[in-house]
Chains A and B, each alone.
Chain A
Amino acid sequence: MILLALALAVAAPPAMTSDADAPRGPRLAGAQLEARTNDVGALLRCPVCQGLSVTDSPATMARNMKAEIREKLKAGYDQEQILASFERSYGEFVRLEPPARGVNWLVWLGPVAVLLAGGAVIAWSMRRRQGAAASAPAAAEIADLPSRDALPDDAQLAAAVKRVRTLAYGWTDGLSPSSQDPR
């Protein structure tokens, strides 16, 4: 959202390609004309509405704009020529999709850049964690360590260790639950 606002705030002015230029598209009629009118209208903001496209808005202004789109398509103007003609009157604001030019590239490429940066941070932190794991005791060393249920040979000392385990961990008879598992 911030990137979008930023791009709209400082967007480059539209190029002055006049729709007085020759029509570049085919002259449309019938059902195809209606469908294209709705398509192009969906790319334009209704200036008197709150976030509605020209196609979706029931406002008189939107109806008038739609009539103008229809007329231009009939005359053979293509989508970009029509969008540019409205942009000359209302500014880039009238386009619901900011065109990929100037600062607007931020809107299109910003999310990709943020995603890549996030991926890089994750990769970096994973590599760091792997490095830390490598310096940790190896599996063989861990296998050499006494098990959690190991007890000293001295019976009195063993009983004391068991009591401490019962108190500290709540293990019955000072034995870990895994060692009591019948499996």
Chain B
Amino acid sequence: MSEATSNTAPARINRNVLIGGAVVAFPLLAVLIANLGRDPHAVRSPLIGRPAPSFSLVPVGGGAPVTLEALRGKTVILNFWATWCVPCFQEHAALIEASRSLSGVKFFGVIYEDAEAKTREFIAQRGSGYPSLMDPEGRAAIAYGVFGVPETFFIDGNGRIVEKYVGPLDGSTILALAARAKDGVR
């Protein structure tokens, strides 16, 4: 065997393996790097930037149904919550506080898989700065693509969803997202 063949044979195999490996590995590596900062459980809502689904829901304790159409022109914050949800309890005070300090913003709670009696009791004990609406068959929750509670939707005056926030809100986040909702969908 000449020296030339003994040198070229292994080099050719290595190059093929290298190219094949690179073709498979580089796209996977690119996807990995592009998604490094992402929460794998977070599913971005397809509703952001789109018209908020309309609803007609009766407030806790009764009264005329509230519809999204009647709120046109106003910034709306729609907070899905339940009395059995601990993070909802955590954000409750911040939401009441924000509803009092923010002018021109309409706050609504939407009750997610909970009984009206329990909700009324919760509100009686801990207070509320805005109406909560019953969603007995979960239609609003499904239309808004709710996965769990708390989830909060920030809707601009044109009835478009500017942002969806998953998890308990704090005061500064509410103010920041409400300001963006006031600016509207760009």
Q: A-side interface residues toward B, CB under 8 Å?
A: 2, 6, 9, 13-14, 16, 47-48, 60-61, 64-65, 67-68, 86-91, 93
Q: How far apart are the CA atoms of A67 and B139 in the complex, in Å?
A: 10
How many residue pairs link A and B with beta carbons under 8 A? The number is 50
- Which of B42-50, B91-99, B172-180 faces chain A? B42-50
Given the known interface contacts A13-B46, A88-B47, A89-B143, the answer about A48 and B148 at a Cβ–Cβ threshold of 8 Å is yes
Q: How far apart are the CA atoms of A91 and B44 in the complex, in Å?
A: 8
**Which residues of chain B are near A90, meaning CB under 8 Å?**
43, 46, 145, 147
Structural contact, A89 and B144, CB atoms closer than 8 A: yes
Q: How far apart are the CA atoms of A61 and B143 in the complex, in Å?
A: 12
**Which residues of chain B are near A87, meaning CB under 8 Å?**
46
Structural contact, A64 and B137, CB atoms closer than 8 A: yes
Which residue of the partner chain A has the closest CB to B148? A48
Given the known interface contacts A9-B31, A61-B113, the answer about A89 and B138 at a Cβ–Cβ threshold of 8 Å is no
| Total B residues in contact with A, Cβ cutoff 8 Å | 22
Contact of A89 among B31, B35, B113, B145 (CB under 8 A): B145
Q: Could you list 30 A-B pairs, sorted by A, with CB under 8 Å?
A: A9-B31, A13-B46, A47-B146, A47-B147, A60-B113, A60-B138, A61-B113, A61-B138, A61-B141, A64-B137, A64-B138, A64-B141, A64-B142, A65-B138, A65-B142, A67-B137, A68-B137, A68-B139, A68-B142, A86-B142, A88-B46, A89-B46, A89-B47, A89-B145, A90-B46, A90-B145, A91-B43, A91-B46, A91-B145, A93-B43
Check if B131 is an interface residue, CB within 8 A of chain A.
no
Which secondary structure characterizes the binding site on chain A? helix
**Which residues of chain B are near A64, meaning CB under 8 Å?**
137-139, 141-142
Q: How far is the CB of B71 from chain A (nearest CB, A)?
A: 20
**Which residues of chain B are near A6, meaning CB under 8 Å?**
31
Contacting residues of chain B (125-168) with chain A, CB-CB under 8 angstroms: 137-139, 141-148
Q: How far apart are the CA atoms of A26 and B46 in the complex, in Å?
A: 29
**Which residues of chain B are near A9, meaning CB under 8 Å?**
31, 35
Contacting residues of chain B (96-114) with chain A, CB-CB under 8 angstroms: 113
Contact digits for B20-50, partner A, Cβ 8 Å, 1 yes 0 no: 0000000010010001000000011111001
Structural contact, A14 and B138, CB atoms closer than 8 A: no
Q: How far is the CB of B30 from chain A (nearest CB, A)?
A: 10
Which residue of the partner chain A has the closest CB to B35? A9
5 smallest beta-carbon distances between A and B, as pairs: A89-B145, A64-B138, A90-B145, A91-B46, A93-B43
Q: How far is the CB of B171 from chain A (nearest CB, A)?
A: 28
Q: How far apart are the CA atoms of A2 and B148 in the complex, in Å?
A: 27
Q: How far apart are the CA atoms of A68 and B139 in the complex, in Å?
A: 8
Structural contact, B138 and A48, CB atoms closer than 8 A: no
Q: How far is the CB of A9 from chain B (nearest CB, A)?
A: 6
Q: How far is the CB of A105 from chain B (nearest CB, A)?
A: 15
Q: How far apart are the CA atoms of A91 and B42 in the complex, in Å?
A: 12
